[in-house]
Amino acid sequence: MPQWKFDNSLSWGDVIMTGGLLMTGLLAFTDLSSRVDVHDERIGAIGRGTSELHGELQSHVERESNEREALRNELRSDLHQISLKLDKLIEREISRPTR
């Protein structure tokens, strides 16, 4: 049976490998951090654009509502005038002597 042997000595290869791993981890973390910053900036820009678009949409909805109300009022006024004219015509026909 093979027996496991633990060697606690350090070689230059071990030191270089450990330094390389640390540098690689540091570079990867720095790259990830810069990517996160770029994404945060893009998300912020999208959020601002969305807020502006929401404001424009709200003003458009309000304008449309006001225009619809004005049109409704104008239509009511026209219908009221037509109703008055019809009433006058009916009264004229009623007051006209029958033949």
Per-residue model confidence as pLDDT tens digits over 17-42: 999 999 999 998 888 888 888 999 99
Q: What is the pLDDT of residue 75?
A: 98
- What residues make up the domain containing 65? 43-99
Domain contains 13: no
Question: How crowded is the C-beta side of 71, counted as CA atoms within 13 Å?
Answer: 6
Domain contains 70: yes
Domain contains 98: yes
Q: What is the pLDDT of residue 5?
A: 78
Domain contains 35: no
Q: What is the pLDDT of residue 99?
A: 63
Domain contains 90: yes
Instruction: Note the pLDDT tens digit of each residue in 32-69.
Output: 888 888 999 999 999 999 999 999 999 999 999 999 99
pTM exceeds 0.75, yes or no: no
Domain contains 67: yes
Number of domains making up the chain: 1
Domain contains 79: yes
* CB atoms inside a 10 Å sphere around CB 80: 10
* CB atoms inside a 10 Å sphere around CB 84: 10
